[in-house]
Amino acid sequence: MGLVDPLEIAFINKYQGGFPVCEKPFLAVASELGTDETTLISIVGNLLKDGWLSRFGPLYDARQMGGGLTLAALSVPENQFEKITTIVNAFDEVAHNYRREHKLNMWFVLATETETAIQNVINDIESQAGLKVYNCPKLQEFYVGLKLHIDSAGQVDTVPMDIDPDNSSITPIAPNELERKIIATTQAGLPLVSEPYKLIARQLESDVKSIMNSFDALLKNGTIRRIGAVPNHYKLGLRGNGMTVWDVPDELVNEIGKKIGCMDFVSHCYQRPRHLPDWPYNLFAMVHGSDKDKAFQKLEEMEAALFPYNFRHDVLFSSAILKKSGLRILR
């Protein structure tokens, strides 16, 4: 059964981003939602405890702060899958790990403090697992912004997220000493207290004004994509999560990427490298549905939108969440 409490639904629908940077942000949000601060803090805590939210707080962009971020894959023999999962998940740099229905059946996200550290982690995984890692870093971003909308009956679907189009072109900026401390302290989430920024200031032996100014600066330069709730889309009912992959001629990838990326139901769209002959695809786009049939309907819409082109493509559905801890960039 999905969520049915109107206040929980309203909070998730409205605050997947845009959580305020002010002295009493929960009070400001509570007033907006017609409740009180104590009730709202309790609601957010329960949503996290019960698994409706994966996390709550700032979403950091590793590459925007000069770090490394990549998507990688393994082809794991079935009789080794549990062992390899344990090996891969033991790396702190592995933020997300999914089993997908394909010969390349394990896909994980790596985040590191520096760009060069990515290859070191890949080398370590290959050494421990005894398998080749297919490294698929982002070459070009056409869209990223998974936002869910829950209706009054608790049914969920994806909707477009308002994205600042200028952020993707901002030059990466290395965080200063205070910003580094803030990132390390909050990459797992914001504290659920009346004055979270004041608590962070106390923990870092700073003052609340400096902390809030730093959050504003990190938002402005794109290091923080947004601050808010991260819904657990699988628990909320999106069981058909498909990574569509396309073999697009290089001279057309910019045109096609923009076309796919602007479709309302696409949550992520990137150009990534091929790995011939094993992996011919260079354009990735995520779609979500309540089941595979709903996701396939969206794939059919993509095919129709790309007519008369008929690019070779595939869809890799996730069949298990192996790890989902969020990025741990600074330690």
Helices (H), the chain: 6-14, 25-33, 37-49, 81-89, 117-129, 177-186, 196-203, 208-220, 253-261, 292-306
Share of the chain above pLDDT 90, in %: 81
Tokens of 250: 């290089």
Q: How far apart are CA 125 and CA 130, in angstroms?
A: 8
Please tell me the distance from the alpha carbon of residue 167 to that of residue 222, in angstroms, as a whole number. 6
Secondary structure class of 323 (helix, strand, coil): strand
Which tokens sit at 33? 């939602």
Q: Does the pLDDT at position 166 exceed 70?
A: no
Of 49, 225, 231, 243, the C-alpha closest to 150 is 231
Terminal CA-CA length for the chain: 38
Cβ count within 10 A of residue 194:
15
Beta-bridge mates of residue 245: 284, 314
State which amino acid sits at residue 33: L
Q: What is the pLDDT of residues 110-137, one digit of tens each?
A: 999 899 999 999 999 999 999 999 999 9
Using 50, 70 and 90 to split pLDDT, how confident is the model at 324?
Answer: confident
Give the residue with greater pLDDT, 216 vs 2.
216
pLDDT for the residue numbered 325: 78
pLDDT at 330 exceeding the cut of 70: no
Cα separation, 18 vs 145, whole angstroms:
13
Instruction: Band the pLDDT of 300: cuts 50, 70, 90.
Output: very high
Mean pLDDT, range 8-30, rounded to an integer: 98
Task: Write out pLDDT tens, residues 238-286.
Answer: 889 999 999 999 999 999 999 999 998 999 999 999 999 999 999 999 9
How far is 150 from 125, CA to CA, in rounded Å? 38
In terms of Cα–Cα distance, which of 2, 1, 15, 7 is closest to 42?
7
Predicted pLDDT at 167 = 47
Band of residue 146 on the pLDDT scale cut at 50, 70, 90: confident
Candidate from 125-129, 143-147, 186-190, 319-323 with smallest mean pLDDT: 143-147
Confidence of residue 76 (pLDDT cuts 50, 70, 90): very high
Q: What would the DSSP string read from start to end of 125-162?
A: HHHHH-S--EEE--SEEEEE--EEEE-TTS-EEEE---
Query: Between vectors from CA 144 to CA 294 and to CA 232, what angle results, nearest 5°?
Result: 60
- Its pTM stands at 0.86
